[in-house]
Amino acid sequence: MRSRTPRRGRTLAALAAAAAVVAGPALSAPAASAAPRAAALVPAVDREIQFTADGTTAYGTVHIPAHRSGRKLAAALLIPGSGPSDRNGDQPPALTPHTLSLLADALGQDGVMSLRFDKYGTGKTGLGGRHRAPDMAAYTRQAVAAYRTLRAQPEADPRALLVVGHSEGGLQALLVDRAVPAKPAGLALLAPQDLRLLDMLGFQLADGLDRQVAAGQLTPAQATLNKAGVARAIADFRAGRPVDTSGLLPALATLLGGVFGPVNADFVRSDDALYPPSVARGVAPGTRTLVTCGTADTQVPCSTTPPLRAALAAAGTTGPGLRVLPGIDHVLHPAGTPTNDPMLAPAARRALHDFVRPWRPRPTGNTAGPAA
């Protein structure tokens, strides 16, 4: 709210103005009367960067929106979802929704700079000489190195650092928050992983089997048999026993063979050891948070979100909190949109826009610090 000038103050201001008029030009020096010159406008730019984590060089893109020279900008680290998702949120050539690059654009329109990077196993970074996926802790160390790199950018306001994670990146955002001493001012968890990894996998596979029954592709008995087989495979893996996928549908057996095989086993075990609501309880009080769920999201449905949201509330976080996005799928598309269409649903844009409201640049001043 704009403060009001007290009556006595308005009277003194009027007298001072009248005195200036009476005194004439001698009291009106040019420097005093000239309007302040606006700072030069710096055009938007994408800057390629690199940083090192555990001896491996990672590569990424810093997007800097157009801004006035000298202005410090709120800065968001963008973290992709599971699998070989690169800095743009793509798994080329098959899956290219451009989720993270679209998020960078949306943030840029609100005056927020961002850094997105090729995590291990993707893009220019690759596996760094490894022959298997590293464990979750290594991915967290890499994301922490990215966060520090973003904080060190000359345009970044260190008081307005944000972490935006999509899908598994939502859990990773919580882990980055836990790991860094200079805590982010805000966390945006977009369709985030909110269960243990293998609980989520079991849920997704059971839902897929139910949909096959509804489509007449499986009998109820076949679905029941395969659900039991998936649950048994998960229990065996967690217990360190050999995983037996015999008797499962060939597609399920192949999928589980890859999940539990030697290339991914270390990562899967370390991710599955984490319960996202437990991690969320450690977020600092006052941290501005956004959690989204799409009603058309079959990978992270809204029904699994309440424990995560409750944990953030118990931690004393603030902000928009949970935003349910009607008709939005897991890659933040309107339901029915082809997966590889490069678009961000308007409802997702609005949720993000509201999240960054305190850090959007103001017409005056030199910082993008939070508003009240």
State pLDDT tens for residues 166-213: 999 999 999 999 999 999 999 999 999 999 999 999 999 999 999 999
pLDDT at 234 over 80: yes
pLDDT at 132: 85
- Beta bridge mates, 75: 113, 161
User: Would 17 be classed as within a structural domain?
Assistant: no
Rounded to the nearest 10 degrees, how much is the dihedral formed by the CA atoms of 204, 210, 216, 219?
120
User: Would 204 be classed as within a structural domain?
Assistant: yes
User: Would 33 be classed as within a structural domain?
Assistant: no
Last residue of a domain, one of 229, 246, 270: 270
pLDDT at 287: 98
State pLDDT tens for residues 116-168: 999 999 999 999 888 888 999 999 999 999 999 999 999 999 999 999 999 99
pLDDT at 20 over 80: no
Q: pTM value?
A: 0.87
305 and 174 inside one domain: yes
pLDDT at 130: 84
Q: What CATH number is given to the structural domain containing 146?
A: 3.40.50.1820
129 vs 19, residue with greater confidence = 129
Full residue range of the structural domain in which residue 244 is found: 197-270
Number of domains in the chain: 2
Last residue of a domain, one of 251, 270, 289: 270
Radius of gyration of the chain (CA): 25
65 and 175 inside one domain: yes
52 and 104 inside one domain: yes
142 and 102 inside one domain: yes
pLDDT at 56: 95
pLDDT at 34: 53
How many other C-beta atoms lie within 10 A of the C-beta of residue 167? 26
pLDDT at 21: 31
Residue type, 44: A
User: Would 351 be classed as within a structural domain?
Assistant: yes
- Tell me the DSSP string of 27-54: G--HHHHSPPPPPPEEPPEEEEEEEEET
User: Would 284 be classed as within a structural domain?
Assistant: yes
